[in-house]
Every structure is written in structure tokens, then in C-alpha cells.
């Protein structure tokens, strides 16, 4: 094998060249940007709907939707924050359910002990994207 790249890189390069040959517009295609486009199709659920589905409707003494979403965010961070869309959506839903920016940051930060600094950093970057430039008074 004279190609120094690994087989996966060679296969991906070949697939990209084929896509460009068939459709020149594919030259600027970014899978990351495409997923963000799909992500915009899923709206944030209203707090009342989340409480009905994930909150105390079934178990009156159970966790509320905000707490469940913060736990979900912690779990996604523990998995290495690899599911960009899931992390951003969970943050948006948590904010809608009443989570403050500080609570989101703490839920992610606590996972650094278990998941490591890179996973925490990635989750914080995604959370910041989801929250945009909102101040604490807005989240």
C-alpha cells in the first residue's frame, strides 16, 4: 500500500471526489452544516408539554422536566458530548423548562470529574451555541 493515509481517509477522499464530479455544488457541502439545518426543523417544546411528557404527570412525587433534562444533559456529556444535535436540543429544552444558564453549566461541569475535560469542554461549547448570547436574566 503506497497511500500513507488510512483506508477510511482514502475512501472518504474518493467519495468526495465522486460527489464533486456528479454535482459541483457538493464541493462546498458540509455535513455539520446540513445537520444544523435539520436541527432547525425540530422546534423546542413548550414547558407545559415537557412537564406533561417528562415531568410529574405520571409520578406526582417524581422529578420535574427541568431536572430530567439536566440529567439528560449530564448523560450526553458522559458519552463524550458526541451527539451535537442532542446536546443543543437538550439545552434549549432545559432553558424552556426553566433551567438557568448557571444550572446548565454546573450540570456539564460536574461531568468533567467522570467524563474528562475534553467531553466537558465540548458540551460547554455546544451549550453556548444553543443558548446563544442570552444573558442570565434570559435563561
Summarised one tens digit per residue, pLDDT across range 121-136 is: 999 999 999 998 544 4
pLDDT at 60 over 90: no
With pLDDT > 90 as the criterion, what percentage of the chain qualifies? Answer: 41
pTM above 0.95, yes or no: no
Cβ-proximal residues to 99 (8 Å cutoff; 6+ apart), any chain? 66, 69, 70, 139
Question: Using CB atoms within 10 A of its CB, is residue 134 exposed (0-12), middle (13-18) or buried (19+)?
Answer: exposed
**53 vs 128: CA distance, rounded Å:** 26
Residue with cell 453556548: 128
Mean pLDDT, the chain, rounded, equals: 80
99 in Cβ contact with 65 (< 8 Å): no
DSSP structural state of residue 55:
S
DSSP structural state of residue 132:
T
Amino acid at each position: 500500500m503506497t497511500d500513507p493515509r488510512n483506508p477510511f481517509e482514502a475512501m472518504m477522499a474518493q467519495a468526495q471526489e465522486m460527489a464533486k464530479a456528479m454535482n459541483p455544488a457538493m464541493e462546498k457541502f458540509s455535513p455539520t452544516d446540513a445537520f444544523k439545518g435539520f436541527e432547525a426543523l425540530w422546534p423546542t417544546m413548550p414547558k407545559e408539554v415537557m412537564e406533561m411528557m417528562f415531568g410529574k404527570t405520571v409520578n406526582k412525587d417524581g422529578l420535574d422536566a427541568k431536572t430530567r433534562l439536566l440529567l439528560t444533559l449530564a448523560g450526553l456529556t458522559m458519552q463524550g458530548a458526541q451527539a451535537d444535535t442532542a446536546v443543543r436540543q437538550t439545552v434549549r429544552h432545559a432553558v424552556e423548562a426553566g433551567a438557568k444558564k448557571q444550572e446548565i453549566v454546573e450540570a456539564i461541569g460536574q461531568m468533567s470529574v467522570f467524563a474528562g475535560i475534553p467531553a466537558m469542554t465540548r458540551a460547554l461549547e455546544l451549550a453556548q451555541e444553543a443558548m446563544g448570547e442570552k444573558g442570565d436574566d434570559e435563561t
